[in-house]
Structure 1
Amino acid sequence: MKSTIAEVYKHVGEEVKIGAWLANKRSSGKIAFLQLRDGTGFIQGVVVKNEVAEEVFQAAKSVTQESSLYVTGVVQKDERSPLGYELTVKGIEIIQLASDYPITPKEHGTEFLMDNRHLWLRSKRQHAVMKIRNEIIRSTYEFFNNAGFVKVDPPILTGSAPEGTTELFHTQYFDEEAYLSQSGQLYLEAAAMALGKVFSFGPTFRAEKSKTRRHLIEFWMIEPEMAFANHEESLVVQEEYVSHIVQSVLKNCQLELKTLGRDTAKLEKITAPFPRITYDDALKLLHEKGFNDVEWGDDFGAPHETAIAESYDKPVFIIHYPTELKPFYMQPHPERDDVVLCADMIAPEGYGEIIGGSERIYDYELLKKRIEEHNLPEEAYNWYLELRKYGSVPHSGFGLGLERTVAWISGVEHVRETIPFPRLLNRLYP
């Protein structure tokens, strides 16, 4: 019967047929050990010369790395295997014999691996990262669907920008100017006025000339928006959501976390509620830690975020940033006109900001004033302003960057490993 590697546990003692690729192999005289992968997982196939036909053993000896084959064998329990099972091979049918596969078991440089990203994805480490990414996506839909949110798909081509146009990719839209989306937020605000609680999950683009381990040119964001929700209520949703995806990965990706050598004890601490610290108190904390170069009104960079996060073993919210640091649409603090009702969620272990969110301005005149102060073209934002004319309500939302979140939960250092085909400052291939 046919099986996948992920489902061999259902067939202990039975003979199964698996379509697979040869990830690696070794042999010692009369036994060949085939490391097989089929996309669902990895398993070792053991070929014993005295127990198979001669042509089967010769096939096992001659098959090359990343050749495709059908393997028939009996599933056995094996406590030494990370999977817990291995295959006693009875038959091998080679589909295509690969030659000169470029990624060998030896060490390769990052640029070489990135040039061969289409093949690097096959490795056990990259497989584990992609499986964790998939689990985060699955549990994201689970969380928001269970919480009564409606999935909405904002446009990727837009005529306006939520946060200014300095980091946007410009394109020509027939006879109009257009940009690739840097956020679906403004459109989600419109959708929230129709559907109450909504979320989007899609690609966004930032034309940042950054080469840090936290930045990509194209990345994916989860952006919820909630009508009749204030800033504090939004923070509760954020911490419950992040707790949910971490616990889901812990529950469903133990093998992948082990493959990556992830310290799961640190992830087990990630349960809501999360600590909150104001921008003012964060600044004091930084000064105590020796960061005397940062002053009130300055944005926090990666070293600052890392230093703040070191004081906690959970993600921490930095709340109430100075108004001048944040986009035009954020609601002012009711008791201070120099800060806004916003928060950045900073992940532990030096992974930086994974969520940015705020309560939105819902007063028509104030929003119009902010648009003018930011020198934004009012005609491009007329529809957005109209949301404040027809039944405006307090509303809040946030955006989570998927790749940074995958990097943190999986414990990989650079976001380029957390998306199948990363777009970096100097990389558009493959």
Structure 2
Amino acid sequence: MKTTIAEVGKYVGQDVTIGVWLANKRSSGKIAFLQLRDGTGFIQGVVVKNEVAEEVFENAKSITQETSLYVTGEVREDKRSPFGYELGIKKIEIIHDAIEYPITPKEHGVEFLMDHRHLWLRSKKQHAVMKIRNEVIRATYEFFNNNGFTKVDPPILTGSAPEGTTELFATKYFDEDAYLSQSGQLYMEAAAMALGKVFSFGPTFRAEKSKTRRHLIEFWMIEPEMAFYEFEDNLRVQEEYVSYIVQSVLNNCKLELGVLERDVAKLEKITAPFPRISYDDAIQFLKDKGFTDIEWGDDFGAPHETAIAESYEKPVFITHYPTTLKPFYMQPHPTREDVVLCADLIAPEGYGEIIGGSERIHDHNLLKQRLEEHGLLDGAYKWYLELRQYGSVPHSGFGLGLERTVAWISGVEHVRETIPFPRLLNRLYP
């Protein structure tokens, strides 16, 4: 019976054949222990010298790391294994001998591992992070599909900057300028006016020269947009969505969280509703904590966000930022001209902002004024302004950064480990 490692539990006591790679091995004189992987998981294969043909045992002792094989053997329960099963190997068929594999069980430097990212992905911890990433994506589709959202794909090539910034990758689009998208939000607003509740999931690009553990040049965003949803409605969707994906990982990635030695007790506390603190109160909180470098009107840096987050066991919303700090499209506070109806969701444990969201301006004249103030009242935003002329309604949305969210849930230090092939300030290889 040909199967996969993930499915061996169905065949306890039976012989199965699995296509695998050798991740690692150790042997005594009479027994060889093979750590095997097939992409679906990891399992230990045991080869006992006096139970197999001499050729099988010699192969088990001599095969090199990452050699590809077909192994045939009996599936056995093994309570000592986190996986719960092992394979009593009876037959080994070598598919391809691996040459000297560069990534060994010893410690390697980060740059070495990044240069070999195409191989580093095969390691147990990187495999676990990718599985958790996949679960977050799966749960994302499930959450939004179950809640009446339609997936819409915004363009990657755009003629303008969604947030009016200059941190864009420019390219030529035949005889005019174009940019790699830094957000699909403006297009999602148009889609929400057609479909009510929509979400996108796709790559975004920021030409930001940052080297922090929280930043990537190319990353993936989940961006919902909702017609007839105001500020409070928006926060409710965010906390329900984040709670949903965390609980899905807890339920479906127990083995992977164990491999990463993640403290799941912290994740088990992530249930809606989430606490909130206003920007005004956050400034005062930081001053009381001894941060003398922050004044009202300043944006928060990583140390500020971490200090605020440490006061809570759940993600915390920081609400109502100054108008001057936020993009042109955010709805003003109804009783204050100096702040807008927005919130950033800050993850616990120093992982920083994972969501930015707001109610959007729906009044034509106000949006026109904001575009003019930002020097953006040109042809590139004509279509966006037109949305406010044909049945405009209150609407809200947010963007969740996938890699930061996976880093937090997984407990890994740097976002470079949460995307298969990271693009960093000085890295375009492999």
Same fold (TM over 0.5): yes
**Preserved contact between residue 129 and residue 256 of structure 2 (Cα < 8 Å):** yes
Note the 1:168-207 alignment, pairs <5 A: 168-207=168-207
In the aligned structure 1, how far is the partner of 2:60 from the partner of 2:82? Answer: 22
Instruction: Report what 1:109 is aligned to.
Output: 109
Instruction: Provide the rounded CA distance (Å) in 2 between the counterparts of 1:110 and 1:64.
Output: 24
* Separation in 1, partners of 2:185, 2:50: 65
Structure 2 residue aligned with 1:420: 420
Instruction: Please give the secondary structure, in 2, of the residue aligned with 1:384.
Output: helix
2:149 touches 2:199 (CA, 8 Å); kept in 1?
yes
**d(CA) in 2 for partners of 1:279, 1:19:** 55
Contact 2:363 2:392 in 1 (8 A): yes
Q: Which amino acid aligns with 2:92?
A: I
Distance in 2 separating the partners of 1:376 and 1:335: 26
Structural RMSD (CA): 0.5
Query: SS where residue 336 of structure 1 aligns?
Result: coil
Separation in 1 of the partners of 2:27 and 2:288?
A: 59
Q: Counterparts in 2 of 1:49-128, with a 5 A limit?
A: 49-128=49-128
Q: Give the structure 2 partner of residue 267 of structure 1.
A: 267
Query: Deviation of residue 378 (structure 1)?
Result: 2.0
* Gaps in structure 1 of 5+ consecutive residues: none
Q: What corresponds to 1:20 in structure 2?
A: 20
Structure 2 letter corresponding to 1:181: S
Give secondary structure in 1 for the equivalent of 2:162: coil
Deviations 1:313-365 (A, max 9, x none): 00000000000000000000000000000000000000000000000000000
1:364 counterpart residue number: 364
Letter in 2 for 1:381: Y
Return structure 1 stretches of 4+ with deviation > 2 angstroms: none
Percent identity of the aligned residues? 83
How far apart in 2 are the matches of 1:325 and 1:353? 15
Measure how far apart 1:10 and its partner are: 0.5
- CA deviation profile, 1:345-389 (whole Å, cap 9, x unmatched): 000000000000000000000000000100114211000000000
Partners of 1:59 and 1:102 lie apart in 2 by 21
Match of 1:276? Answer: 276
Deviations 1:238-272 (A, max 9, x none): 00000000000000000000000100000000000
- One-letter amino acid of the structure 2 residue matched with residue 96 of structure 1: H
Q: Secondary structure at the match of 1:199?
A: strand
Q: Counterpart in 2 of 1:316?
A: 316
Q: Number of aligned pairs?
A: 430
**Secondary structure of 2:339's aligned partner:** strand
Q: What letter is aligned with 2:57?
A: F
Counterpart for residue 402 of structure 1: 402
1:165 offset after TM fit, Å?
A: 3.3
- Map residues 377-388 of structure 1 onto 2, 5 A cutoff: 377-388=377-388
Deviations 1:103-148 (A, max 9, x none): 0111100000000000000000000000000000000000000000
1:300 is the counterpart of 2:300: yes
Q: For structure 2, which runs of at least 5 residues remain unmatched after alignment?
A: none
Superposition deviation, residue 163 in structure 1? 1.1
CA shift, 1:160, in A, is 1.1
The answer (yes or no) to whether the contact 2:368–2:377 under 8 Å persists in 1 is no
TM-score, L = length of structure 2: 1.00
- 1:172-209 deviation digits (Å, cap 9, x = unpaired): 10001100000000000000000000000000000000
Q: What corresponds to 2:152 in structure 1?
A: 152
